[in-house]
Amino acid sequence: MIFGRRKRSIVRLLVVEDEPLVAFDVEHMLTEQKFEIVATVDRVADSLAIIASGTDIHLVLVDVVLADGSGVDVARAAQARGIPVMFVTGHCPGEAEAVANGCLSKPYSDRDLVGAIRAIEANHEGRKPPRLPGGFRLFEHARAAAGNGAIAT
């Protein structure tokens, strides 16, 4: 396509967020941006069940501190299935780089969230990510794996 838009490779998102207003706002904004929300859940147990079910998920957006445990456990489960993960949190955990593709710091704007998703998408497609949004870190291992044509997890 010369003048058309590039087809997205990241469309189906699992949102794991235990703050109801944040979860609602994220789901609403991403739906308006033409993303498909597979589910929005607030518990580790629920997210692990969705991931284990084999549901087609392109990216997991996960907070780290959840009512029933750590988002790091969600990231590990997603990583085991080859699903990219982006932490969306006030404090990126030390082990984040080993289990996720990136980390977006709260608070963030809608534009920064979409930009961070686009950066992970570009990375997966082996393209150089556009300018990274403020408060977002794309992890080095993810860039290296994408540069080798592998899917970064």
CATH numbers and ranges of domains, the chain: 12-147 (3.40.50.2300)
With a cut of 80, say whether residue 91 has pLDDT above it: yes
Percentage of the chain lying above the pLDDT 70 cut: 87
Output the pLDDT for position 137.
95
Q: Which long-range contacts (CB under 8 A, 24 or more apart) does 131-139 make?
A: 133/104, 133/108, 135/104, 135/105, 135/108, 136/102, 136/103, 136/104, 136/105, 136/108, 136/112, 137/92, 137/102, 137/103, 138/101, 138/102, 139/96, 139/97, 139/100, 139/101, 139/102, 139/103
Tell me: pLDDT of 153 over 80.
no
Average pLDDT over residues 144-152: 43
pLDDT attached to residue 133 = 94
Q: What integer best gives the mean pLDDT of the chain?
A: 89
Residue 125 has what pLDDT? 87
Say what the pLDDT of residue 141 is.
Answer: 58
pLDDT value, residue 150? 41
Per-residue pLDDT, averaged over 37-56, amounts to: 97
